Amino acid sequence: MITKRIIPCLDVKDGRVVKGVNFLGLADVSSPVSLAKYYSDNGADELVFYDITASAEGRSLFTDILCEVASTIFIPLTVGGGINTVEDFDRVLKCGADKVSVNSGAIRNPDLIKQAAMKYGDQCVVISADVKRVDGVFRVFAKGGRENTGMEAISWIKRCVDNGAGEVVLNSIDTDGVKGGFDLEMLEAVCDAVNVPVIASGGAGCIDDFTKLFKTLPKVDAGLAASIFHFGEVSISGLKEELRKNGITVR
């Protein structure tokens, strides 16, 4: 049976990993290449790289790093951040990315997903949605969670999938950074609405949060987290062992 995926996420700015990395035994803790290799060697099922660079110069640095990462690790690699056009897809895919994640770019240009899916296939296009409750309604936020678009989130995500997004990363702004567990209510609403893989993001604080996620919502395909892995609070091998004990199929 298909396994549940565990996905570390790396935020990269000007060619370096940010969001405080605190690893033992890594000479260069903010090198995306050594971190990617570390995760790949230690059981990560996939990696996500977000480019949070603002400048063009930083962006080309990111491209160089991406090529280096892609030639070092042999697991699927998803890249997001600053993807606004089909040319942006082309740029990161040529570096060796397998999937491209779009967020604000798809909000600004609703045709982006359709164009990219037609050119590269659905499996290549990931919709990453930042969602927050506003007066009891799930709303899509843009610009890294700073701007309420006013759009209702579930129908927006459904529309993206209908347009060709082959996977959904649901990042709950409400649970992100709180470390109190994934947003099961929000995830369930998304899982019920779409029939493509759903990746849970935002809120993982401990191993139990992942166990609870996959036990409560068997339709969720993967769990994504950043800081708990970066800080070594949770090791991927330890996490998988615990999931296995709980009857959840992992690699």
Partner 1 sequence: MIAVVDYGVGNLYSLASSLKSIGADVCLAGEKDIIKKADKIILPGVGAFADAAQKLRNTGLDEVIIEQAKKGVPLMGICLGMQLLFEKSFEYGEHEGLGLIKGSVISMHGVIPKELKIPHIGWNALHFTENKSDIFKYINENDCVYFVHSFFGTDCTESTIATTEYGAEITAAVQNGNVYGCQFHPEKSGKVGLEILRAFCEKEDVQC
Stretch that binds partner 1, among 30-38, 55-63, 195-203, 229-237 (CB under 8 A): 195-203
Tell me how far, at minimum, the Cβ of 1 lies from partner 1, in Å: 6
130 tagged catalytic: yes
Q: Which is nearer to partner 1, 176 or 221 (CB)?
A: 221
| Binders in 36-95 for partner 1, by CB under 8 A | 40, 45, 70-72, 74-76, 93-95
Q: Does 98 bind partner 1 (CB under 8 A)?
A: yes
d(CA 82, CA 80): 7
What binding mask, one character per residue, do residues 1-30 give for partner 1 by CB under 8 A, x or -? xxx-x-------------------------
Return the biggest CA–CA distance within the chain: 47
192 tagged catalytic: no
Exactly one of 51, 88, 130, 209 is catalytic; name it.
130
d(CA 165, CA 142): 18
Asked whether the beta carbons of 203 and 176 are under 8 A apart, the reply is yes
Q: Which is nearer to partner 1, 121 or 150 (CB)?
A: 121
Q: Which is nearer to partner 1, 50 or 89 (CB)?
A: 89
Cα dihedral angle (202, 207, 212, 218), rounded to 10 degrees?
80
Please report the beta strands in the chain, taking only residues with DSSP state E, as ranges in sequence order.
Answer: 5-13, 16-18, 47-51, 77-80, 99-102, 125-134, 137-142, 147-152, 167-172, 198-201, 222-225
Asked whether the beta carbons of 126 and 102 are under 8 A apart, the reply is yes
> Catalytic residues, which ones?
11, 130
Which residues of this protein are in contact with partner 1, per CB under 8 A? 1-3, 5, 40, 45, 70-72, 74-76, 93-96, 98, 121-123, 166-167, 195-197, 221-222, 251
